[in-house]
Amino acid sequence: MTMMSGAQMLVRTLEDLGVEHLFGYPGGAVLDIFDALLQSRQIERVICRHEQGAAHMADGYARVSGRVGCCLVTSGPGATNTVTAIATAYMDSIPMVVITGQVGTPLIGSDAFQEVDTVGITRPIVKHSYLCQNALDIPKFIREAFYLAASGRPGPVVVDVPKDCVNPKNLFEYPPMTEVRMRSYNPTRLGHRGQVRRAAKLLADAKHPVVLIGGGVVLSGAAKKVRTLVEKFNLPITSTLMGLGAFPGTDRHFLGMLGMHGTYEANEAMDKSDLVFAVGVRFDDRITNTVSKFCPAAKIIHIDVDPASISKTVMADLPIVGDADAVLGQFFDAIEEQNLTCNTAAMDEWWTQIEKWRAVKCLSYKTNDELIKPQQVIEAVYKATGGKAVIATDVGQHQMFTALYYPFDEPRKFLTSGGLGTMGYGFPAAIGAKVAAPDACVCLITGDGSFQMNIQELSTCLEFNVPVKIFILDNHTLGMVRQWQTMFYGGRISSTNLNYNPDFVAVAKAYGHEGIFVEKPSELEAAVEKALSMKDKLVIVDILCDTNEKVLPMQQFGGAMGDMFLAD
């Protein structure tokens, strides 16, 4: 029998759950836990410079590896600093466990030093949360937290640990690991068989079907089955921002991303479709444009593990609750049972129509010898990485350009804050990704605004040797906001100029890294290649870009899917 303190049980539980990396930051309430961590040979600590960074790192780690990301921060400000990152993970359904220190139980409610109601503050942005009342709650709650974070529709779980629960003086018998069971939580895996059969028939009979995939396909590991289905029925397929990579972006069936900044062909195909086969999406407002005008002729088949996502905004004609991978497996059975085959004539006709929309070439843009266009940067990074890199982005124009001009062929390669749109997400997420996949080429494509929201993590990268490559699309503006001011506010530029940026190359060097500045289009490719060739170095490539470039096409407000502003 091993007797352990609460802090030791916490560490041991993480070890038993297979945790190898813990992101975090110390403080008074977690002193005992950090002390116990010194004894762990399995868990490597990555210490951020701001707790938002630690939690985004855990998020990036989870997105790339598919495992639960974990971070540990102190009470009060440590916990509140993670709030944005928890909300980010919540919106994108990322499995993450955030362990927060808390003041001792006798002090709770007394406005003690560094006391905040962490469970209360985070309640609307977590899948679930726990406040430990005693030391033996720690192993129980952390095991449940990992199980909840990863199963069903994944999401962040907070475990708040009061200081007296980890007191090294009080020893307990460590409870052996057992399978987690909760009577109040039983996510559905398999879909309703009858529904699946009907849906398969609808799909085979459709004349203008479109497959729509989202982050759920990535999370459930259903990419392969989606591909088989698409090829079997020769289906056009589009994806949300979160689903990019779950179907090969370079495959001819792929129409590109849909929605506000989607491609013309994807949005037109949706608009004219007679069947939308949606898997792991939640039809948010960046996808649907005006809900009442959304895909007027289409029947909607909606497969999702979260019943609350079905018919939340767009009413599903045929809902199927279940895990995407499991349900698609059932589809193949249903297809075989009913002998369903591709309606070749109808699909040929449909593809002829789609190719006409494609011929518009909505992503073409003009270059010149003077100024680098942001799209060129993405294409240069694509070329230099062979399309194989893990790419994290921040939020803004550079994010949309990445989504549109870097076709991802595999899932878990594209890390971006889709639901919350968190500037400052990208850099720490890239760090988490590189920690999870040290052999992968991990790049951050960021903006001059966003990068400054978590720039302090440059120091973390030096300490823990995390050589990510950073490409700043430096347009001297909060470009996406400026774009709206230009298009919808009569060109009145209000507070979006960034004329006081630091010298990013000097910043890189000050933090002990490498930096390259580029301003001529002719120097771009060489600079990108040079940065990538410095394998063991973090390199910032500060790329001066055209301030006035817009992300186009763009859906018109109040319109249908296909109503778009196109580039001239």
Partner 1 sequence: MRHIVSILSENQNGALSRVVGLFSQRGYNIETITAGPTEDPSISRITIVTDSDGVEIERITKQIHKLINVVKVSILDENEDGAVEREILFIKVQAMTRQVRDELKSLCDIFKAQIVDVTPELYILQYVSTTAEVNRFLQVVSELADVIETVRSGVCGIARGEHALHV
Ligand X SMILES: Cc1ncc(C[n+]2csc(CCOP(=O)(O)OP(=O)(O)O)c2C)c(N)n1
Q: Does residue 133 bind partner 1 (CB under 8 A)? A: yes
Among 240, 343, 375, 397, binds ligand X (CB under 6 A): 397
Closer residue to Mg ion (CB): 247 or 405: 405
Q: Does residue 312 bind partner 1 (CB under 8 A)? A: yes
Reply yes or no on whether 102 is catalytic: no
Q: How many CB atoms lie within 10 A of CB 297?
A: 10
Q: Does residue 81 bind Mg ion (CB under 5 A)? A: no
Catalytic residue among 9, 96, 163, 408: 163
Q: Does residue 307 bind partner 1 (CB under 8 A)? A: yes
Stretch that binds partner 1, among 56-64, 124-132, 203-211, 488-496 (CB under 8 A): 124-132
Pairing of strands 554-555, 442-447: unpaired
Is residue 238 within 8 Å of residue 210, measured between CB atoms?
A: yes
450 binds, among ligand X, partner 1, Mg ion, none (CB under 5 to 8 A by kind): ligand X
Among 124, 176, 194, 490, binds partner 1 (CB under 8 A): 124
Distance between CA 249 and CA 239 in Å, rounded?
Answer: 10
131 binds, among Mg ion, partner 1, ligand X, none (CB under 5 to 8 A by kind): partner 1
306 binds, among ligand X, partner 1, Mg ion, none (CB under 5 to 8 A by kind): partner 1
Among 35, 44, 306, 317, binds partner 1 (CB under 8 A): 306
Output phi, psi for 549, to 5 deg.
-70, 140
Among 479, 515, 553, 562, binds Mg ion (CB under 5 A): 479
Stretch that binds Mg ion, among 158-166, 269-277, 439-447, 559-567 (CB under 5 A): 439-447
Distance between CA 331 and CA 311 in Å, rounded?
Answer: 21
Using CB under 8 A as the binding rule, the residues of this chain from 444 to 503 that contact partner 1 are none
Reply yes or no on whether 488 is catalytic: no
Say whether 309 sits in a helix, a strand or coil. Answer: helix
Distance between CA 328 and CA 325 in Å, rounded?
Answer: 5
Nearest C-alpha neighbor of 446 from the set 492, 383, 498, 521: 498
Total residues in contact with Mg ion, by rule CB under 5 A: 5
CB of 300 to partner 1, least distance (A): 15
Q: Please name the residues in contact with 231: beta carbons below 8 A apart, sequence gap of 6 or more.
A: 253
123 binds, among partner 1, ligand X, Mg ion, none (CB under 5 to 8 A by kind): partner 1
Pairing of strands 564-565, 554-555: antiparallel
Stretch that binds Mg ion, among 36-44, 308-316, 470-478, 519-527 (CB under 5 A): 470-478
Say whether 567 sits in a helix, a strand or coil. Answer: coil
Given the structure tokens 């589809």, which residue do they identify?
A: 331
Closer residue to partner 1 (CB): 81 or 129: 129
Q: Does residue 319 bind Mg ion (CB under 5 A)? A: no
Inter-CA distances, 97 with 74, 85, 130, 308, 447, Å:
14, 11, 11, 22, 28
Q: Does residue 309 bind ligand X (CB under 6 A)? A: no
Catalytic residue among 270, 480, 561, 564: 480
Output phi, psi for 51, to 5 deg.
-60, -25
Is residue 46 within 8 Å of residue 435, measured between CB atoms?
A: yes
Q: Does residue 81 bind ligand X (CB under 6 A)? A: no
Draw the binding track, 459-488, toward ligand X (x: CB under 6 A; -: no contact): --------------x-x-xxxxx-------
CB of 89 to partner 1, least distance (A): 16
Closer residue to ligand X (CB): 421 or 521: 421
Q: Please name the residues in contact with 162: beta carbons below 8 A apart, sequence gap of 6 or more.
A: 29, 101, 102, 103, 104, 105, 108, 131, 132, 133
Among 19, 48, 55, 131, binds partner 1 (CB under 8 A): 131
Closer residue to Mg ion (CB): 448 or 457: 448
Say whether 91 sits in a helix, a strand or coil. Answer: helix
Six token digits for residue 343: 């309606």
Six token digits for residue 63: 């997105």
Using CB under 6 A as the binding rule, the residues of this chain from 412 to 441 that contact ligand X are 421-424
Q: Does residue 182 bind partner 1 (CB under 8 A)? A: yes
Q: How many CB atoms lie within 10 A of CB 113?
A: 11
CB of 83 to partner 1, least distance (A): 15
Reply yes or no on whether 113 is catalytic: yes
Closer residue to Mg ion (CB): 325 or 448: 448
Among 475, 483, 485, 555, binds Mg ion (CB under 5 A): 475
Residue 472 φ/ψ region, left for φ over 0, alpha for ψ in the -120 to 50 degree band, beta for the rest: beta
Q: Does residue 106 bind partner 1 (CB under 8 A)? A: no
Q: Which residues of 154-182 are buried (b: 16+ CB within 10 A; e: fewer)?
A: bbbbbbbbbbbbbeeeeebebeeeeeeee
Q: How many CB atoms lie within 10 A of CB 532?
A: 17
Reply yes or no on whether 51 is catalytic: yes
CB of 418 to ligand X, least distance (A): 12
Residue 34 φ/ψ region, left for φ over 0, alpha for ψ in the -120 to 50 degree band, beta for the rest: alpha
Say whether 431 sits in a helix, a strand or coil. Answer: helix
CB of 130 to partner 1, least distance (A): 8
In the complex, the residues that contact Mg ion under the rule CB under 5 A are 447-449, 475, 479
Q: Which residues are catalytic?
A: 51, 113-114, 163, 480
In the complex, the residues that contact partner 1 under the rule CB under 8 A are 119-120, 123-124, 127-129, 131, 133, 148, 182-185, 306-308, 311-312
In the complex, the residues that contact ligand X under the rule CB under 6 A are 394-398, 421-424, 447-450, 473, 475, 477-481
